[in-house]
């Protein structure tokens, strides 16, 4: 408002000044018309001739002279050559354009033939200068020196200067003639005084009208200015809101991409660049195909294109390709952007990174699978291991009755091999489900590997040669012998399948490694042992090497693999405080290296104590499976033990209560009807707290083996009776 009032005051001031000026002009010129009427009239007439006919040529000549002088065309042309400043190029083009317009105006005026010829000569030189501007620019771009450029663009302008001098001479002559005519007109101008006075009055009136119009115009300008200020304020607010929106879009936690109708990216916010790994310059002008990983179906892309072509939105999840080659999941929403007429001008894509949530779901699914395997293993292991224990026990009985019959002994050996394979299958499930207790013992790795290879060779295809080499005679480690066998079996069978029908070699080599190979090594360890299992198969692709240890990951066809083998290998080795290393080159084979802490060997006395398993102690044996009970009783009796066996735990408890001091040890199954193994131990120790106990089961849970007194020894089914006798002997000793 203050600006508006100031503007109106200025308008009124200008109007007053114009009025006063008009009054003064009117008074002065009325006086002059009265005093010098006749002479002023003549002078006016000749002045019109003088100024009207000669002044334009004078202005044009002055302009031409200016362009040829300091700061003019020629001067700037030379500066451009010397300084190579591109601003001189723009100045030269502007000056040359103005000069050519001046020359054209001169030519089209009432110029004489001599003037036209001079103008033509000047124009030719000017156009030569204009044509050399591009040569200067080319010379600068080529890195030529000023002297070299000057040689290329030097112009002979002497003819133009001579033509300019001719124009000036002609103009001066014409001007002198006009002045002569004006002097002559002073004596003839008296009769024009009154006309001049009338003209002057009209001129003053015209100026007054112009002043009034100017006042009105300024008032209009002020009103327009106020309106423009309001519009500018509105526009400023809109720009602020637009910048705020742009910041919000750029800092959005979701990726936002805007493309044209040809799907070429015109905008990508910070989150999109963070997710994709690209810089903004790398994605502008590109299409989203740069993110195509090949995992999304073509049907998804067709559905997307159809929806956008029909002006509809589209939702879906894509597995995109990161700039570094990794992949990530994005939940996308594509929307068409419409103008005021409803026509599609752009597409917008809003994406949410689903990688972490998808990984979480996958991990949860893996946990569910693990729980399912655990439930399955727990439900079948008990009964199945009872069957296996009965099979192996009867095989032992047959061996006792074989009396050296080689055919029978061979069949018994085959039965044991088959039972061990079945046992390994159940243990593999239990191992992965984490329901099987570990039974680490100090064992010779070299001997354990040799024993494992004897069984592995039985199942090896005839086209594959198995080699064994040990650079050390003996190397002891704390490990579960069964799990070590499963580990070697898994690795060898994987090698067999990788080699296929082609001739090949699977080699097992044992050597010592540096102590610092293992990060978590026991203080009492002597160093590290290295077990290499290598093959001459096709190798493992690099993109799969990081995944092969993941649970349920398998490259085998459906039904040919569980995806648990290598997971169990890694877990089993790491639980022995070891590590697994994979080296594989496509086309050159694969090598798995297992590293174990090397422990001190057992003393001779410890070995003798372990090997001595016979005894005559009174054993209370309880198992609800009568086949297992029968086999176990007979075999323990063959080692000299006095065995009292019961299939009903309640009857076993009654027998114990009748003569508690007559029993030396309790051996019981864990899962039994009416009374579980832990409940039986609790009841027995209520009478005799010091009685040793052994619990046998297919799997254990901590809550089921929580008993008072000393913790019972836990043994895993199926258990060879020789191993059971060794446990009894160790407890009795």
pLDDT at position 435: 43
172 is written with which tokens? 């001066």
pLDDT in tens, 388-398: 777 877 877 88
Q: Could you give the count of Cα atoms lying within 13 Å of 329 in the half-sphere of its Cβ? A: 12
Q: Provide DSSP, 562-620.
A: -S-HHHHHHHHHHHTT-EEEEEEETTTEEEEEEEEEEBPPPPHHHHHHHH------EEE
Tell me if 11 sits within 8 A of 215, measured CB to CB. yes
Reply yes or no on whether the pLDDT at 364 is more than 70.
no
Percent of the chain with pLDDT over 70: 78
- Average pLDDT value for residue range 577-590: 89
Distance (Å, rounded) from C-alpha 666 to C-alpha 622? 8
Where would I find the H helices in 315-354? none
pLDDT in tens, 127-163: 887 887 888 888 888 888 878 887 887 877 777 778 7
pLDDT in tens, 698-707: 765 544 567 7
Mutual orientation of helices 649-658 and 677-687 as an angle, nearest 10°?
10
Which structural domains are found in the chain, ordered by start? 2-215 (no CATH), 251-353 (3.30.450.20), 438-601 (3.30.565.10), 606-732 (3.40.50.2300)
Task: Tell me what the pLDDT averaged over the chain comes to.
Answer: 79
pLDDT at position 466: 92
Give burial (CB, 10 Å; 0-12/13-18/19+) of 182.
Answer: buried
Please name the residues in contact with 570: beta carbons below 8 A apart, sequence gap of 6 or more: 549, 580
pLDDT band at 593 (very low <50, low <70, confident <90, very high): very high
- Name the strands in the sheet holding 665-669, side by side, starting at the edge strand that comes first in the sequence: 642-646, 618-622, 665-669, 693-697, 713-716
pLDDT band at 4 (very low <50, low <70, confident <90, very high): very low
Percent of the chain with pLDDT over 90: 11
pLDDT in tens, 177-234: 766 766 666 566 556 566 666 767 777 887 778 778 788 877 888 888 888 888 888 9
pLDDT at position 396: 78
pLDDT band at 10 (very low <50, low <70, confident <90, very high): low
pLDDT in tens, 234-276: 988 888 888 888 788 888 888 899 999 888 998 999 888 888 8
C-alpha to C-alpha distances, 475 to 123, 528, 600, nearest whole angstrom:
105, 9, 8
pLDDT at position 374: 57
Pairing between β-strand 504-513 and β-strand 579-585 as defined by DSSP bridges: unpaired
The pTM of the whole model exceeds 0.75: no
pLDDT at position 11: 53
Distance (Å, rounded) from C-alpha 84 to C-alpha 260? 41
From start to end of 288-353, where are the E strands? 314-321, 327-338, 344-353
pLDDT in tens, 598-631: 999 866 665 565 456 778 889 999 998 887 887 7
Instruction: Say which residue the tokens 């300019």 belong to.
Output: 164
pLDDT in tens, 619-666: 999 998 887 887 788 778 877 788 999 989 999 999 999 888 889 999
Reply yes or no on whether the pLDDT at 597 is more than 90.
yes
Reply yes or no on whether the pLDDT at 592 is more than 90.
yes
């Amino acid at each position: 408002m203050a600006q508006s009032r100031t503007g109106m005051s200025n308008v009124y001031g200008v109007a007053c000044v114009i009025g006063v000026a008009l009054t003064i002009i009117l008074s002065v010129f009325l006086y002059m018309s009265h005093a010098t009427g006749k002479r002023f009239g003549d002078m006016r007439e000749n002045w019109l001739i003088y100024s009207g006919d000669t002044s334009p040529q004078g202005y044009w000549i002055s302009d031409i002279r200016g362009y040829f002088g300091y700061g003019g065309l020629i001067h700037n042309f030379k500066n451009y050559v010397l300084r190579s400043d591109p601003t001189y190029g723009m100045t030269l083009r502007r000056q040359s354009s103005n000069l050519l317009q001046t020359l054209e105006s001169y030519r089209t005026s009432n110029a004489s033939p001599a003037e036209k010829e001079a103008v033509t000569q000047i124009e030719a030189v000017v156009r030569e200068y204009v044509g050399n501007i591009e040569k200067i620019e080319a010379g600068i771009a080529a890195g030529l020196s000023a002297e070299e450029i000057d040689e290329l663009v030097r112009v002979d302008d002497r003819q133009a200067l001579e033509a300019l001098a001719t124009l000036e001479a002609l103009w001066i002559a014409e001007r002198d003639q006009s002045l002569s005519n004006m002097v002559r007109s002073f004596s003839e101008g008296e009769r024009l005084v009154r006309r001049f006075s009338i003209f002057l009055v009209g001129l003053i009136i015209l100026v007054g009208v112009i002043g009034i119009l100017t006042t009105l115009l300024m008032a209009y300008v002020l009103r327009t200015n106020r309106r423009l200020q309001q519009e500018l304020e509105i526009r400023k607010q809109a720009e602020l809101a637009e910048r705020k929106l742009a910041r919000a879009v750029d800092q959005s936690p979701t990726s936002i991409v805007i493309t044209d109708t040809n799907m070429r990216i015109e905008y990508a916010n910070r989150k999109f660049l963070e997710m994709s790994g690209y810089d903004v310059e790398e994605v502008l002008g590109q299409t989203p195909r740069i993110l195509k990983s090949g995992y999304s179906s073509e049907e998804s892309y067709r559905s997307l294109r159809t929806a956008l072509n029909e002006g509809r939105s589209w939702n879906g999840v894509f597995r995109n390709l990161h700039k570094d080659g990794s992949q990530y999941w994005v939940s996308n929403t594509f929307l068409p952007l419409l103008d005021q007429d409803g026509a599609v001008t752009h597409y917008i894509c809003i994406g949410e990174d689903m990688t972490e949530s998808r990984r979480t779901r996958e991990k949860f699914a893996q946990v569910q699978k693990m729980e399912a395997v655990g439930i399955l293993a727990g439900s079948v292991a008990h009964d199945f291991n009872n069957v296996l224990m009965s099979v192996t026990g009867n095989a032992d009985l047959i061996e006792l009755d074989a009396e050296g019959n080689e055919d029978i002994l061979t069949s018994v050996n085959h039965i044991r091999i088959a039972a061990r394979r079945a046992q390994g299958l159940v243990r593999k499930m239990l191992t992965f489900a984490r329901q099987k207790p570990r039974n680490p013992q100090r064992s010779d790795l070299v001997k354990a590997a040799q024993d494992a290879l004897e069984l592995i060779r039985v199942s090896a295809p005839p086209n594959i040669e198995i080699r064994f080499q040990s650079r050390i005679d003996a190397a002891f480690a704390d490990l579960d012998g069964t799990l070590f066998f499963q580990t070697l079996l898994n690795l060898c069978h994987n090698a067999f399948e990788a080699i296929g029908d082609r001739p090949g070699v699977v080699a097992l080599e044992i050597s010592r490694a540096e102590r610092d190979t293992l990060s978590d090594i026991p203080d009492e360890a002597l160093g590290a042992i290295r077990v290499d299992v290598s093959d001459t198969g096709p190798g493992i692709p690099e993109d799969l090497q990081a995944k092969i240890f993941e649970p349920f990951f398998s490259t085998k066809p459906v039904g040919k693999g569980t995806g648990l083998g290598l997971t169990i290998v890694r877990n089993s080795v790491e639980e022995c405080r070891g590590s697994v290393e994979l080296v594989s080159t496509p086309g050159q084979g694969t090598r798995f290296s297992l590293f174990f802490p090397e422990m001190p060997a057992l003393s001779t006395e410890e070995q003798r104590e372990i090997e001595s398993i016979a005894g005559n102690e009174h054993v209370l044996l309880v198992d609800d499976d009568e086949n297992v009970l029968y086999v176990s009783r007979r075999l323990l009796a063959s080692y000299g033990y006095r065995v009292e066996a019961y299939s009903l735990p309640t009857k076993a408890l009654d027998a114990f209560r009748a003569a508690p001091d007559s029993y030396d040890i309790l051996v019981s199954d864990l899962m039994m009807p009416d009374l579980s193994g832990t409940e039986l131990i609790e009841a027995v120790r209520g009478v005799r707290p010091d009685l040793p106990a052994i619990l046998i089961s297919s799997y254990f849970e901590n809550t089921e083996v929580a008993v008072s007194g000393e913790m019972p020894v836990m043994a895993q089914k199926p258990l060879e009776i020789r191993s059971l006798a060794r446990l009894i002997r160790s407890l009795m000793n």
